[in-house]
Copies of this chain bind each other. A is one copy, B any other.
Amino acid sequence: MIQELKQGYGHIFEEALINEIAQVGTFKEVSEGYKLMDIGEYVRGMPLLISGAIKVLREDKDGDELLLYYLEKGDTCSMTLTCCMGDAKSEIRAIAEMDTKLIMVPVQKMDEWAAKYKSWRNFIFESYHNRLNELLNTLDSIAFDKMDMRLISYLKEKARINEGNIIKNTHQEIAYDLHSSRVVISRLLKKLEQMGKIELHRNFIEIIAL
Residues of A near any B CB (own CB < 8 A): 58, 60-62, 64, 66, 68, 78-79, 81-82, 85-86, 88, 91-92, 111, 114-115, 118, 121-122, 124-126, 128-129, 131-133, 135-136, 138-140, 142-144, 179
- A64 CA / B143 CA spacing, docked (Å): 10
* Contact A125 to B82, CB < 8 A, known contacts A114-B114, A135-B132, A135-B139: yes
State the majority secondary structure of interface residues on A: helix
A58 and B140 in contact, given A115-B115, A118-B111, A135-B132 (Cβ under 8 angstroms): yes
A181 to chain B, nearest CB (A): 14
Please tell me which one of the listed residues B79, B85, B125, B179 contacts residue A122 in the complex, with CB atoms under 8 A apart.
B85
Task: A62 to B132: give the CA distance in the assembly, Å.
Answer: 22
Interchain CA distance A133-B58 in the complex, whole Å:
12
Q: How many copies does the complex hold?
A: 2
- Complexed CA–CA distance, A174 and B201 (Å): 45
Q: Is B82 a contact of A126 with CB atoms below 8 Å?
A: yes
Which chain B positions have C-beta within 8 A of A142? 139, 142-143
Which chain B positions have C-beta within 8 A of A58?
A: 136, 139-140, 143
In this complex, which of A92, A115, A126, A131 has the most chain B Cβ atoms within 10 angstroms of its Cβ?
A115
**In the complex, which residues of chain B have a beta carbon less than 8 angstroms from the beta carbon of A91?**
133, 136
List residues of chain B with CB within 8 A of the CB of A62.
Answer: 144
